Amino acid sequence: MLTLLQEDNWFISLSRFMGGVGIFLVIGIILVIVVLYKKFKNR
């Protein structure tokens, strides 16, 4: 039960981070993954 509360707090802090810079960070990571996937697929 205690670990669940800790996970909830981590999730809340993560969602707050995602509300700011996190969205751009996630979009950037996804774009990098897509570009790398296309490069490996063409080989």
Site of tokens 């800790």: 6
Whether the CB-CB separation of 23 and 31 falls below 8 Å is answered with no
pLDDT at res. 39:
92
Q: What does the longest C-alpha to C-alpha distance in the chain come to?
A: 49
Distance (Å, rounded) from C-alpha 15 to C-alpha 31?
21
pLDDT at res. 4:
55
pLDDT at res. 37:
94
- pLDDT tens digits along 1-43: 455 556 677 777 777 776 767 678 888 899 999 999 999 988 7
Site of tokens 């700011």: 20
Give me the domain span that covers residue 8: 1-43
Domain count, the chain: 1
pLDDT at res. 9:
74
pTM score > 0.85 for this model? Answer: no
pLDDT at res. 40:
92
